[in-house]
Amino acid sequence: MTRPKIGVTVSSDENRDRTRALNLKEAYFTSIQKAGGEPVTFPMATPLDQLSGVLSGFQGILLTGGGDIDPALFDGQPHPRVYGIDPIRDQIEIELARYCADHKLPLLGICRGLQVMNVALGGTLYTDIADQLPGALKHPCYPDYPRDYLAHSVMIKVSTRLTAITGQSQMKVNSLHHQGIKDLSRELNLSAMAPDGLIEGAEIMFHPFYVGVQWHPECLPDSPSDQAIFSAFIRAASPEE
């Protein structure tokens, strides 16, 4: 069977010598490969008017974690803990999220990726959960705890793709973020929620695969329910023989 080609988005970070370097955790590639896909770094400098042509060579898109989305893109409240804004990445990932929604191209969003999906489709974010969500849990657990530390549970909503994928109504998940969804896009359906009310999963119904989760399943390689998310994504992206 042909392995589907998955475009994986990356961040561009500045080194101490002021040169730029692409940054991507290996675990994303490993999870896609184990699920049967062919991960390829997506060309983040693609001009927007050439995006559809480039996307014709991919069977799916993975929006990865990383720095914060510019609050100006969703009329967000400025906050001193906002970090790592990359205007080029913001622009290309938002367009990718919109394209995949409109053209039924399978898309998986992880952490920042879920937030991008929401902003792209008209939703908003907390620019800092701890200061803006009363009664919030401790969501930014790294580096105080390892990336695979199971920080809290999430309730998975019935009759969603996520519950069909994981076979669970509740899961323990890791948590590596300080931002999160505030107002959910009208185009997205809630699929998972933390005990403090923070949205932890969202999806588009009647789409081949348009699923986002706020935690990092790629950091949980020994969790069948988490790895099932990648398997379902790759099945949806697999070309028919």
Domain 5-237, second-level architecture: 3-Layer(aba) Sandwich (3.40)
pLDDT in tens, 39-98: 999 999 999 999 999 999 999 999 999 999 999 999 999 999 999 899 999 999 999 999
The Cα 146–Cα 118 span in angstroms is 27
* Residues in Cβ contact with 179 at an 8 Å cutoff, skipping those fewer than 6 apart: 68, 69, 115, 125, 126, 127, 128, 129
Per-domain residue ranges of the chain: 5-237
Q: What is the mean pLDDT of the chain?
A: 94
For residue 14, is pLDDT > 70? no
**Rounded (10°) angle between helices 87-103 and 112-120:** 70
pLDDT at 11: 83
pLDDT in tens, 94-132: 999 999 999 999 999 999 999 999 999 999 999 999 999
pLDDT at 144: 85
pLDDT at 121: 98
- 150 exposure class (CB count in 10 Å sphere: 0-12, 13-18, 19+): middle
What is the model's pTM?
0.95
- Percentage of residues in the chain with pLDDT exceeding 90? 87
Contacts 24+ apart (CB under 8 A), 196-203: 196/133, 196/135, 196/136, 196/137, 197/133, 197/135, 198/129, 198/133, 198/136, 198/137, 198/139, 200/154, 200/173, 201/114, 201/154, 201/156, 201/160, 201/162, 202/114, 202/117, 202/118, 203/160, 203/161, 203/162
pLDDT at 19: 58
For residue 226, is pLDDT > 60? yes
Helix (H, G, I), strand (E, B) or coil at 192: strand
pLDDT in tens, 128-186: 999 999 999 999 998 888 899 999 999 999 999 999 999 999 999 999 999 999 999 99
Dihedral over Cα of 206, 53, 30, 90: its sign: negative
What is the mean predicted confidence (pLDDT) over 187-215?
Answer: 97
Spatial contact of 171 and 225, defined as CB atoms under 8 Å apart: yes
Helix residue ranges per DSSP H, the chain: 26-35, 51-55, 87-103, 112-120, 129-132, 161-166, 224-237
- Residues noted as catalytic: 111, 216, 218
- Percentage of residues in the chain with pLDDT exceeding 70? 95
